Structure 1
Amino acid sequence: MRRIARYTLSLSLSLSLVTVACGDESPADTDTDGGTATESDTTDGTDTDGDDPVAAALDAKAGTYMGSWELFGYDPMAGAYPAFAWTDVVTAQNPTVEADRAYLDVTDVITFEMGGGYEQMWIEGFQLNEDGTPGAEFIEMMGVVTVLEEVEPDHYVYEQPVTEQDLMLIAGVTLENLVSGTHVVDKVVTHPGGVETHTISRTTSIEYTDDADQLVTIEFESLRGTHEKTE
């Protein structure tokens, strides 16, 4: 069961650092060799003369975030039910600028309500437009790159396919009878009381054939949580 929680966290928590600052559009200072910038190129994510939008965007994203989360399974008789709960502390640091993207190293330390926990890591940042300005947000975890769509200011959406691990929490559905399955993750960034807060929910949509060979459609909120930036 913990393996499922690990997979689900990989999908959702990676979004937690997206901020509107990364969507600023003004000339960026990228590595002239077209490769990874050195530490002196990125320093601590800020530019000494204050006019580098790439460094400013990375600096806005960097920091520590604390979160609280719930994961839900689904049963045809009972509907959605709580499966796991956990808290986490996310740290984003080490700004890096490459020829076509800029990002931070992210470490997430997770503690399950039932006891135990683990740590996961990824990189997160934004792609650079042809003119060097910050572009679309991205997350890269275990070699898989996910690009986020900003549907309106401070509101982000992306999709992921349902996997075999997800189906372990959805009664009656297996890879054999699954017709289609999609997660849609929705994230909104707000600043109540001046505190940067990320509110995330995930809706899972499933179509499968039951024992009578009838098509069944289910949709439920499978994940919800928040992150608050603490420093």
Structure 2
Amino acid sequence: MTQNKPSLSVVVPVFNERDNVAPLVHEITAALRGVVPFEIVYVDDHSRDDTLDVLRGLKAEVPELRVIHHVTQSGQSTAVRNGVKAARAPWIATLDGDGQNDPADIPRLLAERDSADASTRLFAGWRVNRQDSGSKRWASKWANAIRARMLRDDTPDTGCGIKLFEREAFLELPYFDHMHRYLPALMQRAGYRTVSVPVNHRHRTAGVSKYNNLGRAMVGIRDLRGVAWLIKRGKLTRTEEV
């Protein structure tokens, strides 16, 4: 572990991604060393392969790497939240563990943050050239259209795993399973601005996707109703000390 407190924590949730762990860790260090003081927080969601053993082995050669392990499988949103809770930096970057997000985009998100209004607390990646199957791209386009109509979050791509956000603002948000798919709407509900930033997207080179289109759709419909209810019931009150 690095001795100095980092200014950026990179949180990566993983489940059965043993062949993608080492390449992605090395890409993160290549993108960020000399750019910003950082740490990498991997959260293993009780993988059934040897992902955890691979991560333990990498700790010896990557001093920035920390590893959190779920004793029981809990899902991606819980893994992200536990990684954020464990993080030591005030700003968080997230990446999917499958390697399809490009760590080289993190400095771009940091540059967007540095030039943005102080009220902007989330910088969401936008996969303008998705490298997924046609069925997955179609399902995502359909889901994004419905979400945008219901939530009016002005975000073209909420499913992109690469995001940059303020840790404190994230921990203020209501927590529920699958919340990571609705971060722009939830941040806006909390009174913060959000920005979408075009990023690179890559083919998966190892392993298989842990999700299917029907499963995403069924969960998404239920969650959309819940998030819409949260937004409708939300209330912001300005305060001042006298």
TM-score bracket relative to the smaller structure: under 0.3
Richer in helix (by share): 2
TM-score normalized by the length of structure 2: 0.27
Task: Return the TM-score normalized by structure 1.
Answer: 0.27
When Rg is computed on C-alpha atoms for both structures, the one with the higher figure is 1
RCO higher in structure (CA 8 A, sep ≥6) = 2
